[in-house]
Amino acid sequence: MVVADIDTGINPYHAFYNAGSSIYPAGSPPASVTPELLAELGVDAAHQLTLTRTGDFAADFAADKAIWDGIKKGELYWFKGTNILAVTLRETNDGGIPILPDDEDDTHGVGTSSSVLTGNPEAVILFVEPDALGSDASHAYAFEHPAVDIVTTSYGASIPLVGIPLPEASSFPKTFQGVVELGKLHFSSAGNGPGLSPLRAGAGPWWSIGVSGFEEDSSNGRTLLSGLFPDFISDFTQNLPYCMACESGTNEFTAGTSFSTPLAAGIASRVLLEARRALGSAGGIQVRPDGKSQMAVAADGRTLSNWQLRRALEEAAYIPQITDYDPIEGVFDVAGLPINPVAPWLQIGWGVLSINPDKGVVAKALAFLGLAGEAPAAKDFGYCGFQTGNVQIRHQYWDVAAPASDPSITPPTEDPFIYC
């Protein structure tokens, strides 16, 4: 189960990614990168790196100087003892450090990658350090890579200082090809300000999944100031590693849709992984004789497409109740507001993609797919009606605006989207 994360840099020295951490406690070290996967990806012994980890980052980095000096642009590396594979598309002589953050202000990718693994510690991270965020090269690498199942992106255009997302007319490059033609899922941030998610280049297109933010298990508010009309919401503030020159420690206030988005992607990857196990489907995305890409294929012929997985997540997403709102915590939560009990879909889209087992998102999604347990009851028609209208508007906007700016996009004659 491979999730590609396009971002600024990752810190594989950090304890979070290694055995003995909160997500890999004793007896369950990260072990998703198998010899078979390495062979599929073409990662030979020379590209399998063992880092020095004593707890002293400066000393360990110095001890590993030969490793970092040997990193080459465009070549994929595995950091042994982790579920991290990484590639840099930057020029390696540009004065920065390949793959690692260049400084403490360049740690966004540490947060996004660790958020994916919070959602699914068994996911393999294929980390792409771009030549520039949103570049054609980085998107082509992630969205056209045959081993990648899900791509998460946490960037976009917004008004400086206030962060309100701007309407955009050109979709992110290669997202259409990756989702519609190659069968992947794309999760993208809906923005931290009150902009319209359907008009964002990443989160807006009907083939992509827009994720907004929600203060889960705190005030359960702050939904109206974070990406309006998304597909889903997920936890806005998390406790994640967020540093360059360290090997331990976390920031319990790592906040933004930059992190709710990869968390949602990680949860989706957990559903996909369990679905593949239930179906006995080995390997990644497969192309069937009819030319359609399937995320899983069982020996008895049953298949699972990216559209079916998305539909399962829609029905499985948790619906917060007005009683979940804590008015005392809400006083200290900027713009914290309770969920509207009359029309909650206006705030939360299909609902919360939560890692909390009590919310049952993974279990319900698998049940909806007919792979485990009893299928959940269909959600209120208001969700279906509103979200269907949302997707139809996105169709109208992106099927006209996107091809005008990207001639590589040809809207399909048959709509692959599975409606409720």
Give, rounded to a whole angstrom, the gap between the first and last alpha carbons of the chain: 26
Weakest-pLDDT range from 71-75, 204-208, 210-214 = 210-214
Q: Tens digits of per-residue pLDDT, 32-51?
A: 999 999 999 999 999 999 99
Length of the chain: 420
Q: Tens digits of per-residue pLDDT, 110-120?
A: 999 999 999 99
Q: What is the mean pLDDT of residues 213-220?
A: 74
Report pLDDT for 330.
66
Report pLDDT for 220.
56
Helix, strand, coil in percent for the chain, rounding step 5: 35, 15, 50
- Count Cβ atoms within 10 A of the Cβ of residue 132 and give its class: 0-12 exposed, 13-18 middle, 19 or more buried: exposed
204 and 183 Cβ atoms separated by less than 8 Å? no
Using the predicted structure, report yes or no on whether residue 131 has a pLDDT greater than 90.
Answer: yes
Measured between alpha carbons, how far is 278 from 275 in angstroms, rounded to an integer? 5
Using the predicted structure, report yes or no on whether residue 345 has a pLDDT greater than 90.
Answer: yes
Report pLDDT for 219.
57
Using the predicted structure, report yes or no on whether residue 260 has a pLDDT greater than 90.
Answer: yes
Phi then psi dihedrals of residue 61, to 5 deg: -65, -40
Burial 254-278 (b: 16+ CB within 10 A, else e): bbbbbbbbbbbbbbbbbbbbbbbeb
- C-alpha dist (Å) from residue 236 to 11, 54, 345, 353, 367: 22, 32, 18, 11, 27
Q: Tens digits of per-residue pLDDT, 143-167?
A: 999 999 999 999 987 776 666 777 8
Measured between alpha carbons, how far is 338 from 322 in angstroms, rounded to an integer? 6
Report pLDDT for 328.
67
- At 416, the pLDDT band (50, 70, 90 cuts) reads very high
- At 225, the pLDDT band (50, 70, 90 cuts) reads low
Using the predicted structure, report yes or no on whether residue 333 has a pLDDT greater than 70.
Answer: no
Report pLDDT for 334.
56
The domains of the chain, with CATH numbers, are 2-405 (3.40.50.200)
Phi-psi region of 366 (alpha: psi -120 to 50; beta: other; left: phi over 0): alpha
pTM of the entire predicted model = 0.95
Weakest-pLDDT range from 35-44, 52-61, 392-401 = 392-401
Report pLDDT for 1.
94
Measured between alpha carbons, how far is 80 from 34 in angstroms, rounded to an integer? 11
Q: Tens digits of per-residue pLDDT, 292-318?
A: 899 999 999 999 999 999 999 999 999
Q: Tens digits of per-residue pLDDT, 242-256?
A: 999 999 999 998 989
- C-alpha dist (Å) from residue 310 to 106, 306, 317: 32, 6, 11
- At 223, the pLDDT band (50, 70, 90 cuts) reads low
402 and 205 Cβ atoms separated by less than 8 Å? yes
Measured between alpha carbons, how far is 340 from 200 in angstroms, rounded to an integer? 24
**Strand 209-214, strand 185-189: pairing:** parallel
Q: What is the mean pLDDT of residues 125-136?
A: 96
**Strand 124-129, strand 2-6: pairing:** parallel
Using the predicted structure, report yes or no on whether residue 403 has a pLDDT greater than 90.
Answer: no
